[in-house]
Amino acid sequence: MKNFFLRNIFGSLIYYRKDTVYQIIIVAILTAVITGSLLTGESVRNSLKKKSEEKLGNTDIVISSGLRYFDPSLGTRVEEKTGNKTASILEIDGYCQNFSTGQSALNIKVFAVDSNFFAFNSGDTITIDKGTVAVNKRLADFLNLSRGDEIIVRFRSVDPIPANAPFAPKTEKHGSKVMKVNRILSAGQSGNFSLGVSQVVPMNIFMSIREENSGNENMKPNRLLIDNANESPLSVFTDLLPGILTLKDIGLSIRRSEKTGEAELISERIFIDSALAETVINKIPHSCPVLTYLANEISRNGKSTPYSFVTAISSPLTRGLKDDEIIINRWVAEDLGSVIGDTVKLTWFVQGFKGRLEERSSDFRIAGIQENDGVNADPTLMPEFPGISGQT
């Protein structure tokens, strides 16, 4: 019986030999294609992994504050609580130009770092002095740079005040520095560091985070790199942050009014976000928000008092005011020749389409006049508007 089946199988193979050969060839080709695809995929995977390791170094977790900045001591606090190494950096977009040839490189990344950044990623003891920069090899090749060459670096100015805030300075929001190339970094020296998702090798500039910005203050970080060597879950860090963040980390500070003795929470961004203000009010029920804004003018019967500050505040002074009523000080009253019951016109700017300032106005009835040296004449109610505060 066994021999019978073998003879039939062998006979079928002989009879259908062409089809059998074709099937063997097809199977061999498919096997080669599948095997090649698997090997190529493994090679690409290893290549991508290697590129990612070159870009990220030892960075496992990134805490980002976006376009805001935090105190450099935050990294030390995270290290003390978790035992993981950290590095604080400032990441900003910019472009640069070879000072000698004029050749430019657009869409580069500018990293303001200290020596801890290189020790964190590659273990190198690289220090960048003020007035000098390190560039990665791709940027050096693109601009034909050598050590000792000078470049013009332009980058977004480090300013806590949002560019779209009312009365933010409308000057060019870019810093510009002429820097000397002191070092050209290879990929193994963190030269290709990047937090972005891209297979393109970036063009990077590294400068000292102790460089002064346009406000003559040292730059502040906006990224915290964490080497999660302890393999702690992400929840450890998200739960940790609320307990170690300080007011300074989010651009806030507390001062006490010399006039009223009240504690005031102020922001370096001038305006406090509504969500944050709501949180403070919920935590401190007796607190009240204050909004001080610049009025273009207060006018009545052809007389005008230009550039006055108007404060909206919930206090015993304003508790009985109606929506169309206002309290002015004695100086404004005398300047306009106004008394209680008169109507004045208040004119101010609002931000319109594409940041354009549009003028608005409204009429208010004078409900009260405060003395110039009264308890409510508090000069600290005026925020630190750039270009306005401290001017005479």
Which segment of 7-11, 80-84, 130-134, 190-194 scores lowest on mean pLDDT?
7-11
Higher pLDDT, 47 or 323: 323
pLDDT at 173 over 70: no
3-state secondary structure of 294: strand
What integer is the mean pLDDT of 119-134?
87
Q: What are the residues whose beta carbons fall under 8 Å from the beta carbon of 16, sequence distance 6 or more?
A: none
Predicted confidence band of residue 122 (pLDDT cuts 50, 70, 90) = confident
- Average pLDDT of the residues of the chain: 83
Instruction: Using the Cα atoms of residue 29, residue 31, residue 34 and residue 40 in order, give the sign of their dihedral.
Output: negative
The amino acid at 42: E
- Decide: 126 and 257 in contact? Cβ < 8 Å: no
Domain ranges of the chain: 61-247, 251-381
Predicted confidence band of residue 12 (pLDDT cuts 50, 70, 90) = low
What integer is the mean pLDDT of 39-56?
64
Predicted confidence band of residue 344 (pLDDT cuts 50, 70, 90) = very high
pLDDT at 361 over 90: yes
Which segment of 214-223, 237-246, 374-383 scores lowest on mean pLDDT?
214-223
- Give the model's pLDDT for residue 392: 47
What integer is the mean pLDDT of 374-385?
76
Whole-angstrom Cα distance, residue 118 to residue 140? Answer: 19
What integer is the mean pLDDT of 208-225?
78
Which segment of 33-37, 46-50, 134-138, 302-306 scores lowest on mean pLDDT?
46-50
pLDDT at 163 over 90: no
288-295, Cβ contacts within 8 angstroms, sequence gap of 24 or more: 288/313, 288/314, 288/315, 289/313, 289/314, 290/264, 290/381, 292/381, 292/382, 292/383, 293/166, 293/348, 294/167, 294/348, 294/349, 294/385, 294/388, 295/346, 295/347, 295/348
- Decide: 251 and 160 in contact? Cβ < 8 Å: yes
3-state secondary structure of 206: strand
Higher pLDDT, 295 or 165: 295
Which segment of 37-46, 84-93, 272-281, 299-308 scores lowest on mean pLDDT?
37-46
pLDDT at 382 over 60: yes
Higher pLDDT, 34 or 80: 80
Predicted confidence band of residue 240 (pLDDT cuts 50, 70, 90) = very high
Whole-angstrom Cα distance, residue 359 to residue 60? Answer: 49
pLDDT in tens, 68-109: 888 889 999 999 999 999 999 999 999 999 999 999 999 899
- The alpha carbon of residue 187 and the mean position of all alpha carbons in its chain are separated, in whole angstroms, by 26
Q: Considering the chain, what percentage of its residues have pLDDT values greater than 90? A: 35
- Decide: 134 and 185 in contact? Cβ < 8 Å: yes
- Give the model's pLDDT for residue 164: 56
Range among 22-26, 153-157, 246-250 with highest mean pLDDT value: 246-250
